[in-house]
C-alpha cells in the first residue's frame, strides 16, 4: 500500500488534526536528544486516549507498519528515533493528571504528562514525586517509565520503577492490559508491569500510569566538597552514610566545574580548586543531624580526604550549589560529547574509576574528558569532547574503538553498559557486555510474546 493510503486510513482512527505529516513535524518528532540519525518517519499520530492508541497498533499490525512510541524525546540512546518510515505515536495530547488521592498518596496520569507537572502537582498537595533529573521540564512520564529513568535522588528514593504502582499498556499485539492497577500488594503471578518498565517501547506503548508519592523531605541541605582524588569518594560516602540519610551523592571533575562556571558565569563555590568535587544532600530535620554532618566534614579535612567545602545555609543556596552539578550536561551539549553512561556496584567504584582512568589516559590522550555522575549509585557519566578541528564522524569512530576496552572492564566487573540512558540504538551493539547470550535469548522470547509481528520500535535494544 502507498504512504498516502496509510495516511488516509490513519486519519480515520484519530481526531481531526491529530495526524501530522508536514516536514517540520516529521523532523521534530523523529529524533531525540542524540541527534544521531536523519529523522524520516511516515507520520506522527497524536492519539488522545488508550483506545485510539490501541486502534493504531491494531492497524499497524494489519499493515506491518513499524511504530515508534514518542515521549519527551529527551533520550540519549536513540530509543525514540524514527529514521526508517515508522509511524511515530506521540503521547503529547495524553498529558493529563486524571486522578489523585491524598490518603493513598497516589496520582494517576496519562503517559504524556511531563515529569515536572507531576512534581508540581505533588508539591501543591504537600507531597513529593522524587524522581528528578535535568530533563524533567520536558521528559514525559511514559518515557521515564519506558527507560526506568534514574537521576539525582536514586541513592535515597530509587528509580522510576520504584514509584510505578500501576500501568495501562497497549501491547505490540494490540491488547490493552491494566497492570497491577495501583495495588501496593498483589501476589498473583508474574508482574508484567516490571517488564514494561525499562522496555524502551519494544513491547508496546505505555498509555497511563499510577504513581506513588511520598512525604516532602524537610530542610534539604547540600555539602559541596573539594577532594584531591577519586580514591577519596567511597570513604567519604561511607563516613557520611553512617550518620546521615543521604538524598544525593554526586561527583564531578574540575574540568566539568570549569566549563559550567565559564558557560553560566558562576563564581567558584570553593576557595581551593581540586581535581574532583562531590556533592552530598541530606534532610537536616534536626540540629543533631547538622552537627553530625559538620563533624564528618571536620574529620574528612583532618584526614585529608576533603580539602575544602561549603555547606548550604538556605533553600536558595541549595539550589545555587546544585547548579554546579546539574548544569554540566547542558553546558557541554553544544560540543556533542560522546557519552558513556556506565555503572558498577558501589563497592567496586574505586577500582572501576582507576581502570577507566587508565584507559582514558591511554586511549583518549588528545580528547577532553568530562567526568561526572551519580557515584553513590555506582553510576559514572563519562563524556568525551572532540577536539574542535576534528570531524564529528572521525571523533565518534575513535570513541567507538575505545568502547570495547571500557565495556570489557565493565563485563569483568559485572557492571552495566547503560546505567540509566537505556540501550536504544547506540548501545545495542554492546548489549552482550552486560547481558549474557543466554539472557538475550530470553529477552527475545519475551519480545516475541508481546510483539509477534515485530512492529514495536524495531532496531532498538534487541533484534
- Which run of H or E residues covers position 210? strand 204-212
* HSE-up of residue 449 (Cα within 13 Å, Cβ side): 9
Distance of CA 417 to the CA centre of its chain: 14
In the complex, minimum distance from the CB of residue 261 to a second copy, in angstroms, rounded to a whole number = 28
Helix (H) / strand (E) element for 58: namely helix 50-63
d(CA 311, CA 313) in angstroms, rounded, equals 6
How many contiguous H segments (helices) and E segments (strands) does the chain have? 15, 18
Question: At closest approach, how far in Å is the CB of 147 from a second copy?
Answer: 6
Q: How many CA atoms lie within 13 A of 166 on its CB side?
A: 19
Closer to a second copy by CB, 51 or 271: give it: 51
Q: Report the nearest approach of a second copy to the CB of residue 159 (Å).
A: 7
- DSSP string of 363-415, one letter each residue: H-TTSEEEEEE-GGGTEEEEEEE--TTS-HHHHHHHHHHHHHHHHHHHHHTT-
The C-alpha cell 511516515 sits at: 42
Give the number of other CB atoms < 10 A from CB of residue 411.
17
Give the nearest distance from C-beta 430 to a second copy in angstroms.
Answer: 9
Phi, psi angle pair for 68, to nearest 5°: -115, 115
DSSP string of 214-258? Answer: EEPP-SEEEEEEEES-GGGHHHHHHHHHHH--EEEEEEEEHHHHH
CB nearer a second copy, residue 114 or residue 213: 213
Q: From CA 96, how far away is CA 119, in angstroms rounded?
A: 13
Closer Cβ to a second copy, 29 or 450, answer by number = 450
Nearest approach, Cβ of residue 126 and a second copy (Å): 8
Taking the C-alpha atoms of 264, 270, 276 and 281 in order, what is their torsion angle to the nearest 10 degrees? -90
CB nearer to a second copy: pick between 18 and 148: 148
Strand pairing category for 127-128 and 176-179: unpaired
CB of residue 1 vs a second copy: minimum separation in angstroms? 28
- Tell me the torsion sign for CA atoms 7, 10, 11, 14: negative
Read out DSSP for 314-372? SHHHHHHHHHHHHTHHHHHHTT-PEEEEEE--GGGHHHHHHHHHHHHHHH-TTSEEEEE
**What is the rounded CA–CA span in Å between residue 274 and residue 271?**
10
CB of 179 to a second copy, least distance (A): 8
**CA-to-CA distance for 345 and 377, rounded, in angstroms?**
7
Nearer to a second copy, 136 or 171 (CB): 171
Q: Using CA atoms, how far apart are residues 341 and 449, in angstroms rounded to an integer?
A: 30
3-class DSSP state for residue 90? Answer: strand
Smallest gap from Cβ 112 to a second copy, in A, equals: 21
Closest distance to a second copy from the beta carbon of 263 (Å): 27
Smallest gap from residue 133 Cβ to a second copy (A): 12
Comparison of 86 and 377: residue with beta carbon closer to a second copy = 377
How far apart are CB 178 and a second copy at their closest, in Å?
A: 7
Amino acid at each position: 500500500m502507498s504512504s498516502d493510503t496509510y495516511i488516509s486510513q490513519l486519519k480515520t482512527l484519530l481526531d481531526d488534526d491529530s495526524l501530522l505529516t508536514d516536514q517540520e513535524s516529521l523532523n521534530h518528532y523523529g529524533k531525540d536528544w542524540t541527534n544521531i540519525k536523519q529523522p524520516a518517519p511516515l507520520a506522527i499520530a497524536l492519539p488522545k486516549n488508550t483506545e485510539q492508541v490501541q486502534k493504531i497498533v491494531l492497524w499497524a499490525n494489519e499493515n506491518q507498519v513499524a511504530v515508534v512510541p514518542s515521549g519527551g524525546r529527551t533520550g540519549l540512546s536513540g530509543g525514540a528515533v524514527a529514521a526508517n518510515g515508522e509511524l511515530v505515536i506521540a503521547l503529547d495530547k495524553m498529558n493529563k493528571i486524571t486522578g489523585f488521592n491524598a490518603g493513598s498518596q497516589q496520582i494517576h496520569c496519562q503517559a504524556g504528562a511531563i515529569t515536572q507537572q507531576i512534581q508540581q502537582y505533588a508539591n501543591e498537595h504537600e507531597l513529593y514525586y522524587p524522581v528528578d533529573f535535568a530533563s524533567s521540564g520536558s521528559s514525559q512520564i511514559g518515557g521515564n517509565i519506558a527507560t526506568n529513568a534514574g537521576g539525582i535522588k536514586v541513592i535515597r528514593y530509587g528509580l522510576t520503577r520504584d514509584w510505578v504502582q500501576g500501568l495501562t499498556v497497549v501491547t505490540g499485539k494490540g491488547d490493552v492490559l491494566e497492570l497491577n492497577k495501583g495495588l501496593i500488594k498483589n501476589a498473583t503471578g508474574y508482574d508484567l508491569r516490571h517488564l514494561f518498565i525499562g522496555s524502551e517501547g519494544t513491547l508496546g506503548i505505555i498509555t497511563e500510569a499510577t504513581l506513588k508519592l511520598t512525604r516532602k523531605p524537610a530542610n534539604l541541605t547540600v555539602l559541596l566538597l573539594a577532594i584531591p582524588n577519586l580514591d577519596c569518594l567511597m570513604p567519604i560516602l561511607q563516613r557520611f552514610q553512617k550518620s546521615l540519610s543521604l538524598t544525593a551523592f554526586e561527583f564531578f571533575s574540575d574540568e566539568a566545574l570549569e566549563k559550567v562556571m565559564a558557560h553560566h558565569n558562576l563564581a567558584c563555590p570553593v576557595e581551593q580548586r581540586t581535581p574532583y568535587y562531590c556533592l552530598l544532600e541530606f534532610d537536616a530535620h534536626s540540629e543533631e543531624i547538622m552537627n553530625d554532618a559538620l563533624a564528618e566534614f571536620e574529620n574528612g579535612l583532618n584526614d585529608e580526604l576533603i580539602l575544602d567545602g561549603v555547606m548550604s545555609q538556605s533553600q536558595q543556596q541549595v539550589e545555587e550549589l546544585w547548579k554546579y552539578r546539574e548544569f554540566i550536561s547542558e553546558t557541554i551539549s553544544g560540543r556533542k560529547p560522546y557519552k558513556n553512561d556506565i555503572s558498577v556496584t558501589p563497592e567496586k567504584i574505586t577500582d572501576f574509576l582507576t581502570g577507566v582512568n587508565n584507559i582514558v589516559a591511554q586511549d583518549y590522550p588528545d580528547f577532553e574528558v568530562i567526568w561526572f555522575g551519580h557515584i553513590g549509585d555506582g553510576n559514572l557519566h563519562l563524556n568525551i569532547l572532540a577536539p574542535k578541528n576534528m570531524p564529528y564522524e572521525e571523533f565518534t569512530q575513535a570513541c567507538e574503538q575505545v568502547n570495547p576496552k571500557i565495556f570489557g572492564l565493565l563485563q569483568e566487573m559485572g557492571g552495566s553498559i547503560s546505567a540509566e540512558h537505556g540501550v536504544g540504538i547506540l548501545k545495542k551493539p554492546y548489549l552482550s557486555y552486560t547481558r549474557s547470550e543466554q539472557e538475550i535469548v530470553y529477552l527475545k522470547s519475551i519480545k516475541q510474546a508481546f510483539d509477534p509481528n515485530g512492529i514495536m520500535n524495531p532496531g532498538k535494544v534487541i533484534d
